[in-house]
Structure formats: C-alpha cells, structure tokens
C-alpha cells in the first residue's frame, strides 16, 4: 500500500507524502519496523493535510466554474484567431511541462466544435497522464 501511495503522490506532486513513502518503504524492506512506526504516523498526518488541500482546491474550482457559468448564460464561442492564440499558449505550456496547460485545454474545449472537441480531449488525456510529448505532437497535428 505504501508503494501505491508513493506512486500517486509522485504523480500529483505531493512531495512530502512521496518522500515519507520512500522512507517507509526503505524501512520496511530492511525490516526496521520500529523505524517505520513514526514515519507512518507522519504520513497519516500529511495525508490528512493533502486531502484537505485537495478538497479546498476542488471547492474553489467548482465555485469559480459556477460563477463563470452564472455570468455568461449565452456565452459566445471565441473567434478562430483567439482560439489559435490559445493553441499557441498551450504549445508553450506543453514544451515546458507546465500544468497550466489544463486551464488552457478547458478554455479550448469550450470553444471548439464537436469534431475538434474529441481531439482536444485526447490532448487533455495525455496532459493528465503527464505525457506532454504526446500531447504536443497531437496538438501540432490539429492546430
């Protein structure tokens, strides 16, 4: 289970949790159970903090989304030049392995037709999987 926590925390950038998992794993592999106990207690505390942080973040995003939707009931799609500008910003984010690409993808999804939407969703999948190279290659093909 520690190995799974280590992988997940590494994927989401929770470095404190990741580092603790590495230490716990080492202690358990070397059969130093007494060394693992205080680390597990710290891990439990850090996991609680992480969960609270994630919940707060999700609530903030949901509140922002609701506010944006309430303010723009008949929202018009942006013109092609503005959309192309978003694609260019996205390309820079992907080159820099920048997770701000998610925000750009969300803006792009709101402004493309159904055919293009499917391809944008593929790019989003690669970004969520931290596969910026594949996302960048697909972006070059569709923009």
Q: Which residues contact 4 (CB under 8 A, 6 or more apart)?
A: none
Q: Of the candidates 18, 49, 71, which is a domain's last residue?
A: 71
Say whether pLDDT at 12 is over 60.
yes
Among 99, 7, 91, 86, residue whose Cα is nearest residue 57: 99
What confidence score (pLDDT) does residue 78 get? 82
- 27 versus 73: the higher-pLDDT residue is 27
Q: The domain containing residue 48 runs over which residues?
A: 2-71
Do 127 and 101 contact (CB within 8 A), yes or no?
Answer: yes
Q: Is 126 helix (H, G, I), strand (E, B) or coil?
A: helix
Residues 18 and 62 occupy one common structural domain: yes
Which tens digit of pLDDT belongs to each residue from 119-133?
899 999 888 888 889
Say what percent of the chain tops pLDDT 70: 92
Q: What is the mean pLDDT of residues 66-89?
A: 76
74 pLDDT more than 90? no
Q: What is the pTM of this model?
A: 0.48
Q: Is the pLDDT of residue 45 over 80?
A: yes
* CA angle at 132 for the pair 130 and 82, rounded to the nearest 5°: 120
Number of compact structural domains in the chain: 2
Same domain, 19 and 63: yes
Length of the chain, please?
143
More confident position, 121 or 62: 121
Residues 13 and 39: their CA atoms lie apart, in Å, by 19
């Amino acid at each position: 289970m520690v190995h799974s926590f280590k992988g997940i925390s590494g994927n989401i950038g929770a470095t404190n949790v990741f580092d603790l998992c590495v230490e716990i794993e080492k202690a358990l592999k070397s059969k130093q159970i007494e060394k693992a106990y205080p680390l597990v207690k710290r891990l439990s505390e850090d996991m609680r903090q992480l969960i609270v942080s994630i919940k707060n973040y999700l609530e903030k995003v949901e509140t922002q989304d609701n506010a944006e939707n309430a303010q723009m009931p008949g929202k018009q799609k942006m013109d092609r030049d503005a959309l192309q500008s978003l694609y260019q910003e996205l390309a820079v984010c992907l080159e820099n392995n920048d997770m701000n690409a998610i925000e750009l993808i969300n803006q792009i999804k709101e402004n493309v037709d159904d055919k293009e939407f499917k391809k944008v969703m593929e790019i989003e999948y690669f970004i969520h999987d931290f596969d910026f190279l594949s996302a960048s290659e697909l972006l070059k093909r569709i923009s």
